[in-house]
Structure 1
Amino acid sequence: MSRPRILVVGAGIVGLCAAWHLQRAGAQVTVVDRAGPGEGTSSGNAGAISQGSVAPLAMPGVLKSVPGMLLDPKGALHIPPRAWPAALPWLWRFVLAARPERVQDIAEGMSQLLAGAETRHREILREEGAEELLRDEGQLYLYRDAAHLAKDESAWALRREYGQRTEILDRAGIEALENGISPDYTVGVFLPEQGHILNPLRHARVVARGVERLGGEIRRAEVTDLVTENGRVTGIRAGGETLLAEHVVLAAGTWSRDLLRRIGLDVPLIAQRGYHVMIPDPGLMPRRPLVPADRKAFVTPMEEGLRVAGTVEFGANDAPPSPRRAALLLDDLRKLLPGARAEGAKPFWMGHRPCLPDTLPVMGPVAARPGLWCCFGHGHLGLTASAPAGAMLARAMLGPPANTDLSAFALERFA
């Protein structure tokens, strides 16, 4: 029996993990992207593997804090004036997703997606001989006091409901885990079963080499269109040529919406731009990701130094980055680890998180366009979800039949 030809549009970590699992399951896969493997948004993530993060962004408690964040010029959320026309309809859907019954449905979907995420990542890395990239030291969220923690209790309760193990720490407990944390933080939530990746770009390249080792192809070209024939998606146009296949997997992050629009489909996908700064020699290196809850930032130890990643900024793919947003991350570091050195920080980085208003990604077949499969919109959890999403997609496409129903992630939910 011939091997099905599958084109994967997008060489970020989501597309690469999908390609790895598809190639391993017996398909003939070609990954196409204008950039090299992992060189887009995947290279700049915070490195966290957060398999317990089932609580959607649209929690009622978060909604109450949004106005304050928008009014604070140094807040973790920023919507530039030029971004408001696109942001308003998205924010309305975001509000609707915060209804209690919808929150429970979203958490159920995220639990199905993220269950065993670290095991799935370790599976790939072990087969590719790079298991050292995944470190198991947990994650530590930090709060100023008990009242500060109480504001997030609904999200933590939801995580615990779906099996997230948490340990509440006092100041002595924090100091037993990490040195140098500001005394302003007196309460911690330790997640012992969550890990992190030491180098997201190297990680993506390892997966890409695995795709090639298994017999797949990585091709560098800009994808300009999806090719259709009698309503069916039969290929793509990339680099001035037409590539045909039995199936096309769209995993192009925030650029997925543009390609879908060209074949008459639309999804409320928006770019939430994130920034990071990398400090090669901070003088103080934590053992695990630290998350100051008042700043929504991740401070992560990596091979190349200390990465401070965060902020949420709405903006188009072609809008210029804001140095002021990046500078806020250095302020966050000083407030969290006052003894760390920020001198010598590398030039800041900015990337586009592909976010949908209900937190759930779009995954699975597109009923209106046979031959087209989607795997995008994983938002702030793209790294975590990439390996399990790739495994789920491969089983749905090639078998054996999966226990997980992909209907919760269907594009048609936005019809």
Structure 2
Amino acid sequence: MDPRPRILVIGAGIVGLCSAWYLARQGAEVTLVDRDGPGEGTSSGNAGAISGGSVAPLAMPGVLKQVPGMLLDPKGALHIPTRYWPAAFPWLWRFVLEARPERVQEIAEALAVLLHGAEERHLEILEAEGALDLIAHHGQLYLYRDAEHLAKDDAAWALRRAHGLEMQVLDRAGILALEPEVSSTYGVGVFLPRQGHSVNPLRQARVIARGIERMGGRILRGSVSALTTEGHRVTGALVDGTPLLADHVVLAAGAWSAKLLAPLGIKVPLESQRGYHIMLPNPGVMPRRPVVPADRKAFITPMEEGLRIAGTVEFGGTEAPPNPARAALLLEDLAKVYPQADTRGAKPHWMGHRPCLPDSLPVVGPVKAWPGLWCAFGHGHLGLTGSAPTGALLAAAMLGPRPNADLTPFGVERFA
């Protein structure tokens, strides 16, 4: 590469921000562009969990049995509206195929490489920016009704444990020792002592953005309509109709990334799994750590601005308006864990677009068919967790020293 290459990063979500930060730190001339301000899209509303041990893919063996429920249960943790069935079916079919036991092992190994040292990478950025207070280190607590309920997730926990996740199975007394206000509905817990969380994802994104500018990077507001090419090389992007040229482009546009790749003849089965959250400024209860009722897959997370209840998965594309009924389910999830919680004053519900691929692996690395183009999107439910390690790996792959990690499992070519 050039001594000081011009690198355009498309997308100012947390993945794009971390990628731009590491690239700027290594001396690149970085420009970051997004239609919204840094972190103001999906990254502002995540559950806050930093889960470096989450190596189990969403598609685990036996997932085929769950698909009818996904299609038919409007209150299920994962819901697909009837109108969206035809659009979702190809993605779901790929998703089911990825649940083969041997493939699950491959995916877990790749995620273990990508997420290794995730929290340390976040702390590396925040220490440089003087904002270590953004990460809390009190672990995460998963709640189960009883031992039989926990047994349904045995395969996923075993996979995580095999890749080094430290976990403790707790009885009811153990749960109360950590979180004394949890309802009697839950009698078994899984405590992950070394998994932290962000106390304010939007502030975290803005801190990283300031760091990029401190190191000489530019952050622009604008809408990217297309990648520009010359010969068979990507040369930049059209931003509000004006070409913005660069030596290299990093595509980190989240759920919108596939639309920018399609004109280059690259098809990616990227789906928006729409997630919601509700913020309670004065809930009357405040856990010390993210609490996760495993039957609902919702995260109840203490943050600077109150208590955030985040979760649910809804297929529906990037254009349909939010579904208030899905957001309302989060208050039902909260009531199962904290029936005494005060929901008055709840802020209007929020919805964001998680960019998900059927194999639970993001697309990270160079696009072999189009020199000059690199990808960093599709992190799904692990966007915050995977953002800092992705940025570090990508910067090393682009600028050196060459990383030890093999990016082949994350290549866009796997969908050819």
The AA in structure 2 aligned to 1:363 is V
Q: How does 1:103-142 map to 2 (within 5 A)?
A: 103-142=104-143
TM-score, normalised with respect to structure 1: 0.99
The residue aligned with 1:25 is: 26
Partner of 1:306 in structure 2? 307
1:171 aligns with 172
The CA distance in 1 between the partners of 2:361 and 2:64, in whole Å, is: 18
Aligned pairs for 1:237-316 within 5 A = 237-316=238-317
2:24–2:216 CA contact under 8 A, matched in 1? yes
The equivalent residue for 1:220 is 221
Contact map agreement 1:61 1:151 (CA 8 A) in 2: no
Structure 1 residue 265, shift from structure 2 partner: 1.2
Q: Output the CA distance in 2 between the equivalents of 1:142 and 1:70.
A: 26
Instruction: State the secondary structure of the residue aligned to 2:264.
Output: coil
- In the alignment, the residues of structure 1 paired with residue 278 and residue 239 of structure 2 have an alpha-carbon distance, to the nearest angstrom, of 33
* Secondary structure of the structure 2 residue equivalent to 1:262: helix
Is residue 192 of structure 2 the alignment partner of residue 191 of structure 1?
yes
Matching of residues 328-347 of structure 1 within 5 Å: 328-347=329-348
The answer on whether the counterparts of 1:301 and 1:307 sit within 8 Å (CA) in structure 2 is yes
Equivalent in the alignment of 1:44 = 45
CA-CA distance at 1:36 after TM superposition: 0.3
Aligned-partner SS, 2:405 = coil
2:264 and 2:73 map into 1 onto residues whose CA distance is 40
Letter in 2 for 1:236: A
Matches within 5 A, 1:221-236: 221-236=222-237
Matched pairs, number: 415
For residues 163 and 184 of structure 1, the distance between their equivalents in structure 2, rounded to whole angstroms, comes to 30
Separation in structure 2 between the aligned mates of residue 233 and residue 136 of structure 1, nearest angstrom: 42
Q: Which one is further off, 254-263 or 351-360? A: 254-263
| Runs of 5+ consecutive residues of structure 1 not aligned to the other structure | none
**1:206 aligned partner, one-letter code:** V
Distance in 2 (CA, whole Å) between partners of 1:171 and 1:63 is 33
User: Bigger shift: 262-271 or 200-209?
Assistant: 262-271
Which consecutive unaligned segments of at least 5 residues does structure 2 have? Answer: none
The equivalent of 2:389 in structure 1 is 388
Residue 319 of structure 1 corresponds to 320
Q: Is the 8 A contact 1:6 1:246 kept in 2?
A: yes
Q: Do the aligned residues in 1 keep the contact of 2:5 with 2:247 (CA within 8 Å)?
A: yes
C-alpha deviations, 1:302-325, integer Å up to 9, x for none?
000000000000011111110000
Q: Distance in 2 between matches of 1:240 and 1:68?
A: 44
Residue identity matched to 1:248: V
Does the CA-based 8 Å contact 1:61-1:152 persist in structure 2? no
| 1:244 maps to amino acid | L
Instruction: Tell me the CA shift for residue 65 of structure 1.
Output: 3.1
- Shift of residue 62 of structure 1? 4.0
Code of the residue aligned with 1:215 in structure 2: it is: G
TM superposition shift of 1:61: 4.2
Q: More deviation in 33-42 or 72-81?
A: 72-81
Task: Check 1:21–1:35 CA distance in 2 against 1; reply closer, same or farther (3 A cut).
Answer: same
- Which shows bigger deviation, 71-80 or 100-109? 71-80
Query: Does structure 1 conserve the Cα–Cα contact (< 8 Å) formed by 2:115 and 2:386?
Result: yes
**Could you say which residue in structure 2 is the equivalent of 1:54?**
55
Runs of 4+ in 1 over 4 A off after TM superposition: none
Cα drift, residue 400 of structure 1: 0.4
Q: Is the 8 A contact 1:166 1:190 kept in 2?
A: yes
Question: 1:31-80 deviations in whole A, cap 9, x for unaligned?
Answer: 00000000000000000000000000000244433433443221111101
Corresponding position: 1:157 with 2:158: yes
Cα displacement string for residues 134-187 of structure 1 (whole angstroms, at most 9, x for unaligned residues): 000000000000000000000000000000001000000000000211101000
CA–CA distance in structure 2, aligned partners of residues 180 and 211 of structure 1? 41
Amino acid at match of 1:199: N
Give the whole-Å Cα distance in 2 for the aligned partners of 1:160 and 1:17: 28
Rounded Cα–Cα distance in structure 2 between residues aligned with 1:355 and 1:309 = 17
In the other structure, the counterpart of 2:9 is 8
- CA-atom RMSD, angstroms? 0.9
TM-score, normalization by structure 2: 0.99
Determine the structure 1 residue equivalent to 2:365. Answer: 364
Give, as a single letter, the amino acid of the residue that structure 1 aligns with 2:165.
Q
Q: Deviations over 1:218-264 (max 9, x none)?
A: 00000011001111001101022111111000000010011001222
Distance, in Å, in 2 between the alignment partners of 1:62 and 1:205 is 38
CA contact (8 A) 2:62 2:99 kept: no
- Match of 2:110, as an amino acid? G
Give CA-to-partner distance per residue, 1:93-131, whole Å, 9 cap, x none: 101100001000000000000000000000000100110
1:399 maps to 400
